[in-house]
A = this chain, B = another copy of it.
Amino acid sequence: MGPNGRRRIPEATVARLPLYYRALIDCTEKDLPTVSSDQLAELAGVNAAKVRKDLSYLGSYGTRGVGYDVDYLLHEISRELGLTQDWPCVIVGIGNLGAALANYRGFGARGFRIVALLDESADKIGQVVSDLSVEPIDTMAAVVRERSASIGIIATPAGAAQKVADLLVAAGIRSILNFASAVITVPSNVSVRKVDLATELQILSFYQLRGLTADPALVVDRPA
């Protein structure tokens, strides 16, 4: 197997691990004992060379002439992604989007349990959404501490995003998922990923205007 000691996993690869994870879940549901890089590529929507290269960063988990053992690979990827542990999440901003996220089943599915819903507005406080009662935003520090929250999800209007990010950071959160259409600034030890509808639509519009094709979404692409 690889002479490969402990390699740093490239960002592009990290961004694709969730795709392989999902593809492997599909395999277990179909009771496939093994998958080849070709099959996995098809399921994940990437090409086979990429699959092999990506998986080689994790270790030599395949068998030549056979493929990868589905259960074993799934276990290894889960471990790399931290899906064997719990990541309590706090959603801030319980408007249409925040409520939709709170109701999203298969959220808690793999360890991303929502432990609090916070909002600023007095008439939202106390409303029950998905079995959780909306709490005032100034309880954030206490809530994050008591429930050991580790991920903050910003679902507020753009104007409030930076203020909320500051509060999350002050409360000790080090991972933020930002749905607001605004750039937020955080200390360098805090991770931010953002999801922006307007950006995605504008990218589609750019390519459609030219009769070209925008391939990938997020951080992933597909075969040649």
Q: Which residues of A contact B (CB under 8 A)?
A: 11-12, 14-15, 17-19, 21-23, 43-45, 80-83, 85, 87, 89, 96-97, 99-101, 103-104, 106-107, 109-112, 150-151, 174-178, 181-185, 188-209, 212-224
Contacts and interface: CB of A to CB of B under 8 A. Distances in A.
B19 A197 contact: no
A217 B197 contact: no
A151 B4 CA distance: 45
- Please classify the interface of chain A as helix (H, G, I), strand (E, B), loop, or mixed, using the class held by over half of its residues: mixed
A181 B80 contact: no
Q: State how many copies of this chain the complex holds.
A: 2
Which of A15, A176, A178, A199 has most B Cβ within 10 Å? Answer: A199
6 contacts: A43-B183, A81-B202, A81-B205, A96-B103, A193-B217, A219-B220
Contact of A214 (B87, B89, B192, B212): B192
A204 B96 contact: no
In the A-B complex, list the 5 residue pairs whose CB atoms are closest, starting with the nearest: A194-B217, A191-B214, A45-B183, A100-B100, A82-B209
